[in-house]
Structure 1
Amino acid sequence: MAKIIIKLPRIAGFPRLATDLVRQANVQPDRDSIVIDGRGLVSGTESFALQLARELNELDVSGIDIIGGTPDWELTMTNAAESREIPVQVIPLSQA
């Protein structure tokens, strides 16, 4: 199983951006685990997180690891993924 890294920009505010990032990462259905690298993220919206979770759920990813981002965004992304029954693990920056 491959680990695919999706690196977030400084500002992640539009759902369309989530769709574009998943497509650019070339995520393969049923085969990939995702690392969401939010170390450079300053601001992320709920609509972005919901769309990202929706896109990844449609590809039936095996799970998501979240590295970095604001604590609020980590919680928002965790809730969005868990609402689609995608396992989530938040990795502390000290372990990344």
Structure 2
Amino acid sequence: MTTIAAQSARPERINLPVLQLRRGDRARVHSADLPAEDLELLRAMGLRTGARIRVCRLGKPCILELCDERCGTGCRIGLDAGLAARLMVSLED
């Protein structure tokens, strides 16, 4: 069983799976261990290495907001939990 104290301490901030983040966390996409077809689809939606995201919802589906630095807003995309588990990010402050 995981305690609340253990959940709140997050020393690792780099190369985390999206599913280890919390609602509202902001992160930058680091890498993804996915088939080429899935990577191409994610890139077409704007989810690529270096993209900034904000977690809107964890679960099925995992909903991420893409943060567009040019206009300050982004779109939301829903990801299957299996795909989100293989999308690695670095937490931002």
Q: Same fold by TM-score, threshold 0.5 exceeded?
A: no
Higher relative contact order (CA 8 A, sep 6+): 2
Q: Could you state the TM-score of these two structures normalised by the residue count of structure 1?
A: 0.24
Q: Which structure has the larger Rg over C-alpha atoms?
A: 2
Structure 1 or 2: larger helix share?
A: 1
Q: Could you state the TM-score of these two structures normalised by the residue count of structure 2?
A: 0.25
